[in-house]
Structure 1
Amino acid sequence: MSFEAPHLLPTPVRSPASPLLRVEGLTRHFMVSGERIDVLHDCTFDVARGEVVAIIGQSGSGKSTLLNVLGLLDRPSGGSYVFDGVDTTGLREGSRSRLRGDGIGFVFQQFHLLERRTALSNVGVPMVLSGVPLLRRRARAKELLESVGLGHRLHSQPHQLSGGEQQRVALARALSRDPALILADEPTGALDAASSTMIMDQLIEQARDHDAAVVVVTHDPKVAERADRIVELVEGRTR
């Protein structure tokens, strides 16, 4: 029986000009009741550090499936996905989990905050999982909440916050480990126009100020037009 060394990752292969992520010929299919369902077909694109990319497409085009693969929550059926110099295609689950935890932050449409915890505590959750000491965790969470304009809401629970405020807490949580990649799945879908603008402002600011890549899945053309580039999915194929 063989064992994978804990948290052991391959040596990244990077160059100054290399993209943060590179997807080549990526496919994903599922077996449902013995029938093969092809969702992604030969997807190929790069995303550079500091770049904001919007992924658009009709419902059922494969956007969420692609985002799950990029977030290392799902594996492709074929092709390759290189993230920050590491070919993720053959990684075991322990290494995928470490790479995901260290390098990727997630922002979801429905926020996914812990209801009985304060904003400060919610932002600290990823740092708890990575063993950051309590005082450092609280200081970092406070700094992040202040950076998204919620310094006055540190001790508020989700039910005491507006939708826009909850999404800003979720964004602060996604940034808590300084990720190289932020994946946002319809981050403005449940928000009003003013809150949507604010969330996009802050996502773009993170990309510019911290050289993080941001990939946003959206149905909203106003959100997509603010990205540096648009990748369209049509019947599971990138354009």
Structure 2
Amino acid sequence: MRGAEPLLRVGGLHKSFTVDGRHLPVLTDCSLEVGRGEVVAIVGRSGSGKSTLLNMIGLLDAADGGEHVFDGVDVTRLGEGGRARLRNAGIGFVFQTFHLLERRTALANVCVPMVLGGVPASRRRAHGRRLLESVGLQDRITSRPHQLSGGEQQRVALARALSMEPAMVLADEPTGALDGTTSDQIIEQLLAQARTRGTAVVIVTHEPSVAAAADRRIAIEEGRTRPVG
């Protein structure tokens, strides 16, 4: 792990849901540390809780208990407002289904986190253009999602995830809906972000080739994390 103090440290996280009156534990003891510039793959069978763990790491959902420290901040002590501010400033997200705003241009989609973060309009437009150029979409800046291929939409989503220059990017099956060539391009861009900017990257994946590209692999089995290899 790079650096003495990890960017992310979670320990003993557990999470349960109530469905039709039944108490269903999903995660019972998950622990993980991620350093700056490190790429970590989370693997496991469908339904094992990979996305649940990613959502808790990304402050989209709260654990029922356990330790959670991100960039020196004890997340468990934050209210919803504090969690939202930390999430917007420090964490970027890439999902399998893109989650782009259909009526907005590629540039407007990339700028959404910057709007929420209060970045002035002129700065966010210039930065958004640079990000789209960096993922090879300089000719698609004014295109809307329905005018883009799946791979182009995912590159817009990646540019959006990087727009606030986050310390960490979380990617949930980012290549699941893409062809092999485009999948390789997305993973290479994520790896380049880690190598050149020191961004931590955590990827949930079913694909062995994607997991193999990571610095470390963590499996979830029976609600617990364990190192792979």
Question: Taking structure 1 as the reference length, what is the TM-score of the superposition?
Answer: 0.92
Amino acid at match of 1:42: D
- Aligned partner (choices 129, 136, 139) of residue 149 of structure 1: 136
Deviations 1:135-164 (A, max 9, x none): 111100000001111111111111111111
Partner of 1:167: 154
Please show how residues 45-194 of structure 1 align to structure 2 within 5 Å: 45-194=32-181
Task: Classify the secondary structure of the residue corresponding to 1:17.
Answer: coil
Amino acid at match of 1:122: N
Alpha-carbon distance in 2 for matches of 1:192, 1:119: 21
Alpha-carbon distance in 1 for matches of 2:131, 2:163: 7
Q: Offset at 1:31?
A: 2.1
- Aligned partner (choices 219, 222, 226) of residue 206 of structure 2: 219
Alpha-carbon distance in 2 for matches of 1:192, 1:124: 27
Alpha-carbon distance in 2 for matches of 1:47, 1:90: 20
Alpha-carbon distance in 1 for matches of 2:95, 2:62: 20
Alpha-carbon distance in 2 for matches of 1:115, 1:42: 39
- Cα RMSD of the aligned pairs, angstroms, is 0.9
Alpha-carbon distance in 2 for matches of 1:230, 1:200: 15
Alpha-carbon distance in 1 for matches of 2:21, 2:137: 50
Task: Classify the secondary structure of the residue corresponding to 1:202.
Answer: helix
Q: Offset at 1:74?
A: 0.8
Task: Classify the secondary structure of the residue corresponding to 1:203.
Answer: helix
Question: Taking structure 2 as the reference length, what is the TM-score of the superposition?
Answer: 0.96
Number of residue pairs aligned between Structure 1 and Structure 2: 224
Identical-pair percentage: 67
Amino acid at match of 1:32: V
Task: Classify the secondary structure of the residue corresponding to 2:178.
Answer: coil
Q: Offset at 1:35?
A: 2.1
Please show how residues 200-215 of structure 1 align to structure 2 within 5 Å: 200-215=187-202
Amino acid at match of 2:106: A
Task: Classify the secondary structure of the residue corresponding to 1:151.
Answer: coil
Q: Which runs of 5+ in 2 are unaligned?
A: none
Q: Offset at 1:90?
A: 2.3
Q: Offset at 1:34?
A: 2.9
Amino acid at match of 2:110: V
Alpha-carbon distance in 1 for matches of 2:113, 2:75: 22
Matched, 1:232 2:201: no
Alpha-carbon distance in 1 for matches of 2:18, 2:97: 28
Amino acid at match of 2:163: S
Task: Classify the secondary structure of the residue corresponding to 1:68.
Answer: helix
Q: Offset at 1:131?
A: 1.6
After TM superposition, the runs of 4+ consecutive aligned structure 1 residues lying more than 6 A away are: none
Amino acid at match of 1:70: I
Amino acid at match of 2:49: G
